[in-house]
Amino acid sequence: MTDRYRAGKRLWSRADDARLRREYPDTATPTLAHALCRSLAATYNRARLLGLVKSATYLASPAACRLRRGDHVGAATRFRLGQAPPNKGLRRPGWAAGRMRDTQFKKGVRPHTWKPVGTEVLDDDGYRKRKVSDDRTRPSRFNWKYVHVLVWEAAHGPVPAGHAIAFTNGDKTDIRLDNLSLISRRALMARNTVHNLPAPLAQTIQLLGALKRQIRRRAHGEEQDHRST
């Protein structure tokens, strides 16, 4: 019978299923998988899908080995309740070979990238951010907030969902309350689209984007070629 395939995988035929139902309960699965030209995992998965289980006779036989219940197979190599591992106390922090003790963080020591609350920095897009908390139980980005948002919220309260604070004159450095306005995310997207720019500038931005995509594709292709060699 010709094997059937789907998406590169050989499908189970009715004959395969019939043989699996017939032999799985009393046959070692590796033996049956070899006979069916299937992987062990595929055979187990198919048997589970068909609701097949090993028979009581098989589970009581020497072939079942670790699957047997109620005996002492492997008892000599098992950990007993309360037994200490052989390496207990041999590899404590700071006592390993090398400079592990010297290079470990000490209690109260902060990484060199740590900044105190109140620190202000510019992000990659030129927006000013301020550190408002030092909560280490969540990602560090939650400890920072944009200064222009803080200024607006101090006067009007939290920014409503689906809205953003925009600079009226387009100047990110002009963080005055009079220069801040509440707009919807949709309006902000429409405001920032290149189609609102002069035609020559919009075309230049689009060409620059296409050039960057070509550079990334070529760099990715060269990386793949390098890995293959």
DSSP codes of every residue in 57-119: HHHTSTTTGGG--SS-TTGGGSPPTTPPPTTTTTS-TT-SSSSHHHHSPPTT---TT---TT-
Considering the domain boundaries, does residue 114 fall inside one? no
Q: 126 and 64 in one domain?
A: no
Asked whether residue 45 is domain-assigned, the answer is yes
Please report whether residue 32 resides in a domain.
yes
- Asked if 62 and 127 sit in the same domain, the reply is no
**Can you give the pLDDT of all 229 residues of the chain as single tens digits?**
455 555 557 888 999 999 999 999 999 999 999 999 899 999 999 999 999 999 988 888 878 876 666 666 667 777 888 888 877 776 665 555 566 667 777 777 787 888 999 999 999 888 999 999 998 888 888 999 999 999 999 999 999 999 999 998 888 999 999 999 999 988 888 777 766 777 788 778 778 878 888 888 887 776 666 555 5
64/124 same-domain check: no
Prediction pTM value: 0.44
The Cα 44–Cα 211 span in angstroms is 51
Q: How deeply is 172 buried, as exposed, middle or buried, from its count of CB atoms within 10 A (0-12, 13-18, 19+)?
A: middle
What's the CA gap between 34 and 38, in Å, rounded? 6
Residue 27 domain-assigned (yes or no):
yes
Q: For residue 133, tell me if it sits in a domain.
A: yes
Residues 63 and 125 placed together within one structural domain of the fold: no
Residue 136: what pLDDT? Answer: 82
Domain range for 25 is 5-69
Within a domain: 202 = no
Please tell me the predicted confidence (pLDDT) of residue 70. Answer: 60
In the chain, the number of structural domains is 2
Location of structure tokens 């689009």: 206
**Would 103 be classed as within a structural domain?**
no
In a domain, 152, yes or no: yes
